[in-house]
Amino acid sequence: MDKFSFKDVLVTVAGLFITVFIAWVLITATGNNPSEVAKYLYEGGFKGTRNIANSLYQATPLILTAVATLVSFRVGMFNIGINGSMYVGALYAGWAGYRFTGLGHFSHVTLCIAIGMFVGAAWMLLPALLRVYAGVSEIISTIILNFVAVLFVSYMANGPFRADPIAPATPRILETAELKQIFPNSQFNTGFFIAVFVAILAHFVLNKTTFGYELRSGGDGLVGMYPSRFSSYLGIPSDRSAITGMLISGALGGLAGAIEVLGAVRYFFQELEFNQGFDGILIGILGKLEPIGAIIASLFYGAIKNGGFYVDYKTDVAREIIIVLISILIFFVSAQKIVKGLEKYPIVKKLDSIFSRKKM
C-alpha cells in the first residue's frame, strides 16, 4: 500500500539515465562501440520469440528467490541463505526425478517439486531455530549455510548420487519428471508459470489474509525486527511467525532450484552454479518487497541478463560489464537520500501528490 510513488519512478528513470551514461563511458573506454552494445542488449533481451523466451527463462528463478527474500524480510528476518536452499532443492528434486519410477507426469513433477521445496525449507530450519531459541543472528548463520550447501551438494553429486563414472553428476531425470520446454532452442519451461503463480499467491497471502498479517505484524520493513514486541503485545506468537517465514522462504528457494533442474538442466552436476539466491535479494528490494514488484523487477533483470549474454556472444564486451551496469542501476535506484533530496522541488511534490493518491 502506498509504496510506489512518482518519486520512485523518477528516481528509477534518473538512475537508468546515469547508468546509461556510465555504461557509455565504460564501454567506450574499453574500446568498443556503445551503440552497438545497446543494440545487441536490446535485441538479446526483447527481439524475437527465442530471445524473449530466454529472457523469461532467466527471470523464472529470480521471481522465486526475490519472493523468498521478501517473505523473510517482511516477517522481520534477514534470510541471506536462499542460494543454499536453491542448491539443496535442486539436488533433491533431481534425485526424485530419477529415483521414483512408474509415476504419471503430473504426479512425478508434483512429487519432485514437493521434495525440492521440503528440503529447501528444512535447510532453513536450523538458522530459524538458532535465531528464535539461541539468539544467533540469522544473517550470519544463513551466510555460513550457503557455503555448507555448496560443499554438501558437491559431495552428494560426487558421491552418493553420482551416476556417471566420468563426470560427477546424477543420472538424468525421467521424462515424467520434466517441466516441458515450450519453444525450440530455448530453456524456457512451464516452471515460469509456476513462479508467477506462486508470486501472485504470495501477494494474496501476505496482503489479504490474516495469516499474512500475523506474519508481517513483526516486521515489514528493511529492518530486521525480530523479536517483535508489537506481535507479542498483540498476542501473536512472533517466534512462530519468524520460523514460519523462514521455512516459507526456504521452500521458495528450494522451488527455484527444483524448477532449474526439472525444467532446464534435467540433472544435477557438481559444477552447476547458482547465484540467483543473491540476485533475488537485490531484486526483492528493487521490487519494494512486494511480490508483484518482484515479478516486474525479475522480468526486467532477466531481459538485461539475457541481453548481456547476447552482447557477450556478438561483441568483444565481456558480459561481466552487464553485471556492473545492473549493480550501478540498483545502487542509484536504492539511493533513498536522492529521493529525499528531490522532495524540495515543487514539481516533484505536485506530481507525487497526484500519483500516490490512495483508495482506503
Partner 1 sequence: MNKEIAIDLKNITKAYPGVVANKNVDFQVYKGEIHALVGENGAGKSTLMKILYGIEQPDEGEIFVNGSSEVISKVETAINLGIGMVHQEFTLVPSFTAPENIGLGQEPKNNRGLVDWKGLNNAVMDIAKKYGFEVDPGLKMIDASVGVQQRTEILKTLYRNANILILDEPTAVLTPQETDELFTVIRTLVDEGKTVIFITHKLREVMEIADRVTVMRAGEVQGVSETGNTSITELASQMVGREVFLQVKKDEAQPTEKILDVQDLWVHDARGLLAVKGIDLDIKKGEIVGIAGVEGNGQTELVEALTGLRKASKGKVMYLDEDIASSSPKNIRRKKIAHIPEDRTNTGLNTQLSIWENLIGNSYFRKPLSSRGIFNLKKVGEHANKLREDFDIRAPNVSLKVKSLSGGNQQKVVVARELSEDPSLTIASQPTRGVDIGNIEAIHEQLVQMRDEGGAVLLVSAELDEVMAVADRVGVMYEGQIVKWVNPKEVDQAQMGLYMAGVKD
Binding site for partner 1 (CB under 8 A): 1-2, 208-211, 213, 216-221, 223, 225, 228-237, 343, 349, 352-353, 358-360
Q: Shortest gap between Cβ of 3 and partner 1 (angstroms)? A: 10
Q: Shortest gap between Cβ of 228 and partner 1 (angstroms)? A: 7
Q: Whose Cβ is closer to partner 1: residue 104's or residue 235's? A: 235
- Whole-angstrom distance, CA of residue 93 vs CA of residue 215: 28
> Cβ contacts of residue 99 below 8 Å, gap of 6+?
none
Q: Whose Cβ is closer to partner 1: residue 194's or residue 206's? A: 206
Q: Shortest gap between Cβ of 71 and partner 1 (angstroms)? A: 15
Q: Whose Cβ is closer to partner 1: residue 46's or residue 230's? A: 230
Residue environment code for 307-346, b if the CB has 16+ CB neighbours within 10 A, otherwise e: bbbbbbeebebebebbeebbebbbebbeeeebbeebeeee
Q: Shortest gap between Cβ of 151 and partner 1 (angstroms)? A: 37
Q: Whose Cβ is closer to partner 1: residue 5's or residue 190's? A: 5
Q: At what angle do helices 346-355 and 6-29 cross, to 10 degrees?
A: 120
What residues are paired with 272 via a beta bridge?
Answer: none
Main-chain phi, psi angles of 89, to 5 degrees: -60, -40
Among 106, 113, 238, residue whose Cα is nearest residue 176: 106
> Cβ contacts of residue 139 below 8 Å, gap of 6+?
78, 80, 224
Q: Whose Cβ is closer to partner 1: residue 2's or residue 273's? A: 2
Q: Shortest gap between Cβ of 233 and partner 1 (angstroms)? A: 5
Q: Shortest gap between Cβ of 68 and partner 1 (angstroms)? A: 20
Q: Shortest gap between Cβ of 110 and partner 1 (angstroms)? A: 24
* Rg of the chain over all Cα atoms, to the nearest angstrom: 21
Three cell numbers, residue 37: 552494445
Q: Shortest gap between Cβ of 351 and partner 1 (angstroms)? A: 11
Q: Shortest gap between Cβ of 207 and partner 1 (angstroms)? A: 8
- Whole-angstrom distance, CA of residue 150 vs CA of residue 79: 17
| Angle 32-33-39 from CA coordinates, rounded to 5° | 125
In the chain, the N- to C-terminal Cα span, in Å, equals 9
Q: Whose Cβ is closer to partner 1: residue 3's or residue 180's? A: 3
Q: Is 82 left (phi over 0), alpha (psi -120 to 50) or beta?
A: alpha
Residues in the chain: 360
Three cell numbers, residue 108: 512425478
Main-chain phi, psi angles of 76, to 5 degrees: 90, 15
Three cell numbers, residue 50: 527465442
- Cis preceding linkage at 184, omega within 30: no
